[in-house]
Amino acid sequence: MSTTKDIKRITVQALAEMKERGEKITVLTAYDFSMARILDECGIEIILVGDSAANVVAGHKTTLPITLDQMIYHAAAVVRGVQRAMVAVDLPFGSYQSDEAEAVRSAVRVMKETGANAVKLEGGVEVAGSIKRIVNAGIPVMGHLGLMPQSINKYGTYGVRAKAEAEAEALLFNAQCLYEAGCFALVLEKIPSELAANVKEKLPIPLIGIGAGAADGQVLVVNDMLGITQDFKPRFLRRYADLHAVISSAVTRYISDVKNDKFPSEEEQY
């Protein structure tokens, strides 16, 4: 039986086939060429150029300040580092909410100016029309439901979403709307695992979870899972390294060597 290891380029069709045969889909964020190249060489299926760049790259408290131009800058750098993975790019807050025409223009700009393979946007039935138009323009769209960081001012909290029956029913309805609008995959963020399993059973497209239990795949912010960020500790996050400590140690030794005239050595000079 073939697996994604045999595939030279990850496409929408390849992801659909992964779901069909029960092979899990791996997703991580990246915001620059060097990290994207490492993730791609490791065999990740999807690299998400997330609007989380606003947090982990620019230091903002929310994802809201990042602009479309900034997302395009990061996405173009990521694409240059990728040979195999699908590159999906978040449409940032304010680039698609006002009307369908703006949403299409934003998505087209991302595809033309970065070379990415897909876009991702947040929302349910209220953005279904925009998704249809973007898909009709030939652009694959990944949806996003549950906790939607671009709507943090409406929620007032980053807590678990859809615990109440009414919100859970609304999420199921919105998931169906996104599927019917043409989404090739759907991110479910910070919702009860039982609800995510229900969505997974009802929809034929891949579901990518983050704090949503055992979906068809998982996504994490790369800076979080590598331990570069230290003050973000949600229940769903597993740290696979402590690069904060590794980098701090290396920089401290560098400072010491320079100040004590141990670097550069004779062998490190021309």
Hey, what domains does the chain have and what are their CATH numbers?
Answer: 4-239 (3.20.20.60), 242-270 (no CATH)
Binning pLDDT at 50, 70 and 90, where does residue 4 land?
A: low
User: What tens digit of pLDDT does each residue of 100-141 get?
Assistant: 999 999 999 999 999 999 999 999 999 999 999 999 999 999
Q: Does position 72 have pLDDT exceeding 60, yes or no?
A: yes
Q: For residue range 144-169, what is the model confidence (pLDDT) as tens digits?
A: 999 999 999 998 889 999 999 999 99
Residue 39 host element (H or E): helix 33-42
Q: Which of 220, 224, 197, 195 is nearest to 210 (CA)?
A: 220
User: pLDDT digit string (tens) for 36-62?
Assistant: 999 999 999 999 999 999 999 999 999
Q: What is the pLDDT of residue 6?
A: 75
pTM over 0.75: yes
* pLDDT (tens digit per residue) in 11-24: 999 999 999 999 99
Per DSSP (E only), the strands in the chain are 25-29, 46-49, 86-90, 118-120, 141-146, 185-189, 207-210, 217-220
Instruction: Read off the pLDDT of residues 191-230 as tens digits, 9 standing for 90 and up.
Output: 999 999 999 999 999 999 999 999 999 999 999 999 999 9
Catalytic positions, written as ranges: 189
